[in-house]
Amino acid sequence: MTNEKPFCHLLRVRYGECDAQQVVFNSRYLDYVDVAVTEFTRALWGDYNELLKSGYDNQVVSAKVDWKASARFDDVLAIYVELQRLGNTSYTLGVDIRRRADQLALAEVSMTYVSLDARMMTKIPVPDEMRAALQKGAPGLVVDQAGVNQMGVK
C-alpha cells in the first residue's frame, strides 16, 4: 500500500449542472462518478473499446451516494477513486468527491460492478489482469476533465 492519495479526477462544475437552488443537481453526482471511473479504468487497463475487444465488460449493479455538502457553479471538484472491495465476479469502487480548494467533503459514493463476458453478457470471474490492475490502482495520478494527466499525457 502507498501513502499517496488515490487516483484523482479534476472536474469543474458547469452552470447547466446546477438546479434552481443554485447547487449541483443530485443526479449529476453519478455523472461525475461515471466520468471519474472511466478515467480511472483508462489509467488501469486502457481504452474501454480495447477492453471490449478482449472479450470483457462490466456493468454497474449498485450505486450508493451519501451527500455531505453542496457543490456550486464553477467549483473545481477533486474526485478520488480507489478499490474498496474485490470479490470473485464483482468489485466495488469508493469515490470521494471533494471541493478541491478546501477539500470539503461533498459526497461519498460506492459503486459496485459485475464482470461480464462481453459477447454473451453473462457474469464471469474478474479476469486476472483486471484483478491485478484494480489491486494496484493508480495512486497519485491526477487527471483533468480532458483526460490529460498532470504530466500532460493523454
Tens-place pLDDT, residues 117-129: 999 999 999 999 9
Please choose, from the candidates 117, 130, 35, the residue with its C-alpha nearest in 3D space to the C-alpha of residue 81.
35
pLDDT in tens, 86-131: 999 999 999 999 999 999 999 999 999 999 999 999 999 999 999 9
Q: 150 falls in which pLDDT band (50, 70, 90)?
A: low
The gap from C-alpha 22 to its chain's centroid, in whole angstroms, comes to: 25
Is it the case that residue 84 has pLDDT exceeding 80? yes
Model pTM score: 0.92
Question: With bands split at pLDDT 50, 70 and 90, how would you rate the model's confidence at 1?
Answer: very low
* pLDDT tier for residue 6 given thresholds of 50, 70 and 90: very high
User: Would you list the DSSP string of 94-113?
Assistant: EEEEEETTT--EEEEEEEEE
Task: Count the residues in the chain.
Answer: 154
CB proximity list for 16: less than 8 A, separation 6 or greater: none
- In degrees, to the nearest 5, what angle opens at C-alpha 23 toward C-alphas 21 and 26? 100
Q: Report how far residue 24's alpha carbon sits from residue 11's, in angstroms, rounded to the nearest whole number.
A: 13
Q: Please provide the CATH number assigned to the domain covering 7-139.
A: 3.10.129.10
Per-residue pLDDT tens over the stretch 51-76 = 899 999 999 999 999 999 999 999 99
CB 79 within 8 A of CB 96: yes
Mean pLDDT over all residues of the chain?
A: 93
